Structure formats: C-alpha cells, structure tokens
Structure 1
Amino acid sequence: MKATWSGMIQFGLVAMPIRLYAATEEHPLRLHEIHLADDSRVEHRRFCKAENREIPYDQVGRGFELADGRIVPLAEDDLARLPLPTKRTVDVLGFVPFEDIDPISFGRPYYAGPGPGADRPYALLVEALARTGDVAVAKVALRSRERLALLRPRHGILILQTLLWQDELRDPGDLAPCTPVTDRELELAELLIRELTGINVGDVHDDYAHALEQLVDAKITGGELVEPAQPAPALDLMAALEESVRAAERAHGPPSARHRS
C-alpha cells in the first residue's frame, strides 16, 4: 500500500515515526449524469467567472475568501508552511475507555504503521492499549484540515480513526418517541434479540449491483421487474413480537438445543 501521510506519534515524552495507509476502499456504482433530451453525457467544466471562459486544470488553484469578499491565493508551498503542530504529528491528548467514544463521531479509518526505528515503542503502545482497553485521543491534520482522532489496536497494529468535532454532530431534536412500553413487550423484545444474536458480517453481500443489472436489463428488453415485498408496520405489537420469537426458534432451534450443540 502507498502511504498517504507520514509523521510522528507524540505521547508524553515518547515519540515515534509512523505512516498512515487508507484502511478501507469503497466500490461505488456510479450513475452518469446525462442530458435527458438525447441521453448524452454531461460534462462539468472549470469556468472563470471574471474572464467568462473555460480554463484548463493546471490554471486552477485555491484561495481563502476574506470577509470583504477579497480572495487570498494559497499555493501548496504556502499550505506547507502552515504553523500547525499536528501537520506532521499525531498529538495524543489523553487516554479513555473505548466505550466512552460514541460511534456517531467515527470518521475515516487508517492503518498506522511504524516508521524507521519505531518497532519497539510502536509494539509497546499496541500492547499497552490492548491490555488496558483504552484508546488514545489525539489531534492530527489530514486532508487540509485538523481532525480529532483516536488510536486503537487491531490485530497487532494501530488504527487511526478520525472523529467528527462536536459541532459537526447534528442535534436530533425531538425525534425520540415519548410512548411508554410495557414490561411484557420489553421481555419479548429482549428474547427476540437473544434468539437473533450472532451474525457473520463477512457473509453479508451488497445486492445493489445485481439489482441495478436487473433494472437496466428490464429497461433494455421491456421486461417486468418483480418488486420485493416491503414490511408493513405492526398493528399489534405484542402479536408481532410473539410470532417473531416463534419464527426465530423454528429457524435456529430452542436455546437449550443450541447450547448443547
């Protein structure tokens, strides 16, 4: 893999070089933008408003807009001189239990591999985090902005996971329902959860590509698509819970049989 960032991890008086590598790779199916009148592809061009003309990519730069509307051009050399300590350092602020980090704030994950001469302190940090169950909360500048991040161990290596800032999390408002539930409903819901506990995420596949192929084929041939059945809201919650538990038991067997196996 090609490193996307290199720098140092700093915690206390210990510092070690690391390199970051993208830990995930999405495989999106992209639909092209077309002109509805003739189905031709639509292109997005770089256009200079002042000169009223299209410009090539090598003439495109970046700039910061001031309050009065003026633009201050910022070249890559300027950004390289940004006086930000986290530009080349993962600055560990402290350690907290992993459970204290709300997954809603999780951003992009990176593999953090040891740099030259860092094997011993790197292995020490991985093992210490694994033993304590804690994660390191840090700041780091990635992709032209500073991010909150956590460092956690996974299969003997460090994962650097960027986090959203608190002001980037939206307030849900009054979305939470205020309707009370009964003890019997809770009992059945917990029983259903226990019946359905256990799934191998690696066996779950993305069906979107296949569904898209079916749609395209139907558009070409004039064939009919079979719409999948949609679940309907339960009119009788207790009856739905009881039948769900019975169906789960039929599919997986009673708990005692599963424990014996």
Structure 2
Amino acid sequence: MRAIWKGAVSFGLVSVPVKLYSATESHDVSFRQVHAKDGGRIKYQRVCSIDGEEVAYADIAKGYETEDGEMVILTDDDLAELPLTSSREIAVEKFVPSDQIDPMLFEKSYYLEPEAVGAKPYALLRQALLDADRMAVVTVALRQRTTVAVLRVRGDVIVLQTMMWPDEIRQPDFTIDTGEIKDAEVKMAHMLVETLAGDFNADDFEDGYAAAVDAVVKAKIEGGEVKRTPTSTKTGGEVVDLLAALQRSVDAAKTARGEAPAEPEKAEKKPAKKTPAKKKAPAKKKAS
C-alpha cells in the first residue's frame, strides 16, 4: 500500500506521528459505453445547455445552483477566500462510547500506521480505546477540508473513519402503518430470528454478479467475440500485431528515403538464426 497522507494524532500532550492508507477499494463491475458496430468508445463534448455550443475547458467555471434554480458563478478569488486548511494534525476532541455513534455517519475508512518513534504511544492509545470500549472523535484536514472522523480499533490497527455531517443524513419522509401486531406473530418472528441466528463472517459472502460478468467475458474472448480497436487492451495477440506494425513502420521509413521495402525472403532470415537452438534440445535429451 502507498501512504496518501502523513501527520500526527494529538491527544493531550501526546503526539503520535502516523501515515494514512486507504483501507478499502472498490471491485464494482464497470462497463464502457461503446459503439455496438465496432466497439469504439463513446466520447462526450462539453456543451452549454443555453447556446448549444461546445465550451473550451479554459472557459469552464464553478457554479453553485440555488434552490430556486439560479446559478451563482464562483471565481478563483472567491474560492481562495474559503476556509481551507493544510494542517497535518489529527486532533482528538473527546473519547465517546462506541455505541453512541450511528453507523450511518461513517463514510470512508483509512488505516493509521505509526512512524517508528510513535510506535509505543500508538500501542498505548490502541489499548486504551479497546479497554474503554470507546472511539476517539477527531477533526482532521483531508484534501484541504476539515472533517470530523473517529479513531477505532480493528485488530492490531487503529482505523480512522471519516464521518458525514449530521445534515447529510436524510430523514425518512414516510410513515409505516403496521396495523395490529398480535403476540403470536411476534413470537413467530422471534423463532425465525433464532432459527437464522449466527456469527457474521465476511468470507461467507461473495460478489456473484462480478463473477458472472467475468465468466461471460472470458467465454466471449475464448469464442473470438472481441472487437479490435486502436485502444484495445493488449492481449496475447499483441506480439503478432506489434511485429506487423513495426514492419509497416520500417517499410514506410525506407519508402520515404527512396529505398525498397524488405523482400519477404529477407524477412524470413531472422527465424533461421533460431535453428541451431532447436537442434540443441534433442541433444540434451540424449545425453540425459
């Protein structure tokens, strides 16, 4: 893994220098939009919704849309005045009981690795969090924006999990009419829960969709159902295509200099050099 951030965890007068690593990665299946006829990728243009003209990247600005649908253009000077920070500190604000934080607030997870000089205080903080069954609520600046996060223990490692702001959690705007719930129905529900009770093991589950897509793609490749485009991912056929392309390039260069392209028989002299190597293999077998 590659560290994406370096800083220090500070609580009280203690400072623990750490490195930050992304703890998760997405394996979601993604498709490209292509032309069904030849497999060419679909390109998109930056077109203004008002005049219908294509807009150069240099003419694109940041806009904030109001609730009324009006657009406020923000200039570079406006953005420069925003309260950004480049602090390298993970400041512990308080230690709270683990069950007080709604999991819906959790956003992205990172592993914290201590620098060599911070290994002991790192271990002490990790043990203290475990023994107290608490999480550390912290503030940290990532990508120049200050956010709230928590430190919690996962195995032998301290994990930093960024959190969403409270107003980013939507409240349900619907009501549920349950009607009358009978005691017998509740008892049956309890029996069902007990029947399916068990311990959670993430390895018990797999992404069946991704595996199915992979199987379909492999079957199509083996069946020759592949569209060759200039941007195709290189496969085993690369060698033949590359040699042909190189030969065409050499011929074109010779033609430009007024020289004749290589004759077919001359091009075949190269494999002739490999003939002695082929004869050596049987000789070794006889010796053994």
- State the TM-score, normalized to the length of structure 2: 0.62
Residue of structure 2 in register with 1:207 after alignment: 208
Write out aligned runs for 1:57-68 (5 A). none
Bigger mean CA deviation after superposition, 25-34 or 177-186: 177-186
Q: Which amino acid aligns with 1:72?
A: T
TM-superposed deviation, 1:135 = 0.4
TM-superposed deviation, 1:21 = 0.3
Counterparts in 2 of 1:83 and 1:163: CA distance versus 1, 3 Å: closer
- State the TM-score, normalized to the length of structure 1: 0.67
Check whether the contact 1:137–1:148 (CA below 8 A) recurs between aligned residues. yes
Cα distance between partner residues in 2 of 1:96 and 1:73: 40
State the structure with more CA Rg: 2
Q: Which amino acid aligns with 2:76?
A: P
Counterparts in 2 of 1:184 and 1:14: CA distance versus 1, 3 Å: same
Residue of structure 2 in register with 1:154 after alignment: 154
Aligned residues between the structures: 212
Cα distance between partner residues in 2 of 1:41 and 1:95: 51
TM-superposed deviation, 1:69 = 4.3
Cα distance between partner residues in 2 of 1:82 and 1:62: 20
Aligned-pair Cα RMSD in Å: 3.6
Q: Which amino acid aligns with 2:210?
A: A
Q: Percent identity?
A: 34
Counterparts in 2 of 1:71 and 1:20: CA distance versus 1, 3 Å: same
Cα distance between partner residues in 1 of 2:179 and 2:37: 51
Q: 1:72 aligns with which of 72, 75, 79?
A: 75
CA deviation profile, 1:21-59 (whole Å, cap 9, x unmatched): 01111112111123578764212456799995555xxx7
Cα distance between partner residues in 2 of 1:16 and 1:64: 40
Cα distance between partner residues in 1 of 2:140 and 2:201: 33
Q: Which amino acid aligns with 2:91?
A: D
TM-superposed deviation, 1:184 = 1.7
SS at match of 1:117: helix
Check whether the contact 1:108–1:161 (CA below 8 A) recurs between aligned residues. yes
Structure 1 runs not aligned, ≥5 long: 222-261
TM-superposed deviation, 1:161 = 0.7
Cα distance between partner residues in 1 of 2:72 and 2:124: 51
CA deviation profile, 1:181-233 (whole Å, cap 9, x unmatched): 22221222122111211243212111112443577779xx9xxxxxxxxxxxx
Cα distance between partner residues in 2 of 1:122 and 1:213: 42
Structure 2 runs not aligned, ≥5 long: 224-288
TM-superposed deviation, 1:177 = 4.0
Bigger mean CA deviation after superposition, 196-205 or 125-134: 196-205
Check whether the contact 1:6–1:88 (CA below 8 A) recurs between aligned residues. yes
Counterparts in 2 of 1:30 and 1:12: CA distance versus 1, 3 Å: same
Check whether the contact 1:65–1:72 (CA below 8 A) recurs between aligned residues. no
Check whether the contact 1:66–1:72 (CA below 8 A) recurs between aligned residues. no
Counterparts in 2 of 1:115 and 1:179: CA distance versus 1, 3 Å: farther
